[in-house]
Structure 1
């Protein structure tokens, strides 16, 4: 049995006011090509289809077209909601619509008999059992545990234990003569960040240990961390990573889809297949003359330029004139003018999380948990989760 594992498409992502939809269209077209060339039996999309909880019609159209193309040739398609997705949109709109086309979509945690676990028979007659758990925020973990476990959840039970109990319930139908798969959107202990993930969901006890997955699992297909990586555990576990570099912290990531070959009697073999279509991101550091010289070798890469010289009028415009693909110009910290004591920084164009970080700095409070808590509360209050 062949499985294509992908995740973290983040369709609709804009980088420094630069739309990425054309790149996303190209790389998702290449993803469909890989599915066809490899003649896979099952496609798993492990969360974060969209960049925001309110995706544009253009973003939704691209995701729908891609999922339908992946479904062609009789392939089974499993789709999860991630932390960037609107879980109710995925569950209440995408699930019934795409379900009519034969896809298995899970937006919110479900009991095994309600869609949390699905059994597929491939074109060659092989059987797979897939346990699917979308992203769980802390505030939804208690309710999910109550729904799936049929008993009141202990409020002092930590997040990792709730996730483990839910996964155990979803995997109860695994047998020795089926290919047993788990897919979820979560942070595993030992995983390496890709650089663009939402920090609040990688702090505050959101991590779960690799032994969350039972030994009867043939393969655990994960989403959330944007760097392709395999993680040691009781079964083969991997993040596919994002199909394009989403931020400059991800410029060294490799864009791939994972092809997993497995049978009921063999350990999963994982192979990374490169994806094309995304533009390279690159950071150039140096004086104006140095970065301009380096930029000549950067091709069509989008650039972040960090200048190691003092700021001057029109400097950023000069960089963009000489390097048209520049999206961000900064002055190295060592060359920035120091703010005078008591100076008031402008709030224009700055996010609430940035302003809260300023407040903590002014109060000389150095605790990253507070910033993460503020970000989570902001997410909840604005309805992005």
Structure 2
């Protein structure tokens, strides 16, 4: 069977105050065109369909239309909730999704079988997917309690919770002749972040080892990290990455979707298909004269200016480069005052330092220095 694996759409993303609505329409339109050309049996969207848990009506329209268009290519479509999504809101769309032939799993419910999706390709290949939406640490504990684990088991680490849940979901992966798939939205130890992920859900106890995935899994389709990459594990494990760079930390990423060919008796073969419809993100540095030669009409820009800071400098740069979303003074142009101040203070008495403070504040009131001297002498004499 053939799978199109994508994730981390982040529809509704606003970059430095600039909407990316039109870009998302073009990007997801290209993903649909790739699906039409590649004719996958199954499309997996591994979480973070939206950039926020309260998406705008425009963002909802973009996502639902993209899911419908993917379904109209003839593929089965499965989408799970990510840490940016509102899982319960996605679940509320399930009646619509079911009627449209789309499978949505926004959150973990009481019955584990709800997270097992099965199907058969037109060629007669049977497949099953264990679908695990994003779980916060708090809800990971609640989820393991749902599945009748002991108190001792429920007190283990987040990675242990995820491993037990996956083990519970994968109990049927030993059936012969079935292609076993797993999709989840999480961080795997050793994988590289893309640059725009939410750090609180990427580190600080949220990373799990690749050993949580059962060896009998034919392919693991992950979301959450925005860089396309494979992860060493007991089975094929891959992040598809985001189909567009969502922040300037991702400007070096190659946006793509993964096309996976897999069968019950052959190893998965994965190839990336680039997605090129979004505007690129670029960081440029230079003086005003150097910046005047920049010609990147199809890019959003982050600019580091090599000029002495002055009033109106930002406006001059933005007039020259209208697509500059972020303008900063190059750190090399900002003197390190801290070291200089420390050197100036070295070896000076408290009276001298207080006198410098008054001079810098422009305080010339008579008697202040004398009062400080009297107070200092009084405090010093009591030691």
The two structures share one fold, judged by TM-score above 0.5: yes
Taking the aligned partners of 1:164 and 1:111, their CA distance within structure 2 comes to 18
Change (3 A) 1:113 1:74: farther
1:332 aligns with 2:330: yes
Change (3 A) 1:78 1:142: same
Change (3 A) 1:325 1:333: same
* C-alpha contact 2:144 2:154 (8 A) present in aligned 1: no
TM-score where L is the length of structure 2: 0.85
Shift of 1:269: 0.3
Shift of 1:310: 1.7
1:102-121 aligned at under 5 Å gives the runs 102-110=101-109, 114-121=113-120
Q: Give the match for residue 244 of structure 1.
A: 244
Pick aligned residue for 1:300 from 290, 298, 301: 298
Q: Give the match for residue 37 of structure 1.
A: 37
Q: Give the match for residue 343 of structure 2.
A: none
Change (3 A) 1:149 1:133: farther
Taking the aligned partners of 2:337 and 2:83, their CA distance within structure 1 comes to 37
Shift of 1:199: 0.5
Taking the aligned partners of 1:113 and 1:208, their CA distance within structure 2 comes to 20
Residue 171 of structure 1 aligns to a residue whose secondary structure is helix
CA displacement, residues 87-146 of structure 1 (integer Å, 9 cap, x when unaligned): 11012x122220222222111114665421111111222111100001111111100111
Residue 115 of structure 1 aligns to a residue whose secondary structure is helix
| Structure 1 stretches lacking a partner, 5+ long | 341-385
Q: Give the match for residue 284 of structure 2.
A: 284
Q: Give the match for residue 185 of structure 2.
A: 185
- Please list every run of at least 4 consecutive aligned residues from structure 1 whose deviation after the TM superposition is greater than 6 angstroms: 337-340
Taking the aligned partners of 1:181 and 1:279, their CA distance within structure 2 comes to 33
* C-alpha contact 2:35 2:73 (8 A) present in aligned 1: no
Taking the aligned partners of 2:262 and 2:122, their CA distance within structure 1 comes to 15
1:18-167 aligned at under 5 Å gives the runs 18-91=18-91, 93-110=92-109, 114-149=113-148, 151-152=150-151, 154-167=153-166
Shift of 1:336: 3.2
* C-alpha contact 1:183 1:222 (8 A) present in aligned 2: yes
Residue 301 of structure 2 aligns to a residue whose secondary structure is strand
Taking the aligned partners of 2:112 and 2:99, their CA distance within structure 1 comes to 18
1:321 aligns with 2:319: yes
Taking the aligned partners of 2:225 and 2:114, their CA distance within structure 1 comes to 25
1:204 aligns with 2:204: yes
- Between Structure 1 and Structure 2, whose CA radius of gyration is higher? 2
Farther off after superposition, 140-149 or 256-265: 140-149
* C-alpha contact 1:27 1:277 (8 A) present in aligned 2: yes
* C-alpha contact 1:258 1:272 (8 A) present in aligned 2: yes
Residue 74 of structure 1 aligns to a residue whose secondary structure is coil
Taking the aligned partners of 1:112 and 1:153, their CA distance within structure 2 comes to 22
Shift of 1:14: 0.4
Change (3 A) 1:15 1:3: same
Shift of 1:333: 2.3
TM-score where L is the length of structure 1: 0.85
Shift of 1:234: 0.6
| Structure 2 stretches lacking a partner, 5+ long | 339-383
* C-alpha contact 2:26 2:277 (8 A) present in aligned 1: yes
Aligned length in residues: 338
Farther off after superposition, 106-115 or 205-214: 106-115
1:269 aligns with 2:276: no
Shift of 1:208: 0.4
Q: Give the match for residue 369 of structure 1.
A: none
Shift of 1:151: 4.5
Taking the aligned partners of 1:331 and 1:147, their CA distance within structure 2 comes to 53
Residue 262 of structure 1 aligns to a residue whose secondary structure is strand
Q: Give the match for residue 353 of structure 1.
A: none
Shift of 1:276: 2.3
Residue 63 of structure 1 aligns to a residue whose secondary structure is helix
Shift of 1:339: 7.9
Taking the aligned partners of 1:166 and 1:51, their CA distance within structure 2 comes to 26
Residue 129 of structure 1 aligns to a residue whose secondary structure is strand
Taking the aligned partners of 1:108 and 1:62, their CA distance within structure 2 comes to 21
Taking the aligned partners of 1:30 and 1:154, their CA distance within structure 2 comes to 45
Change (3 A) 1:112 1:176: farther
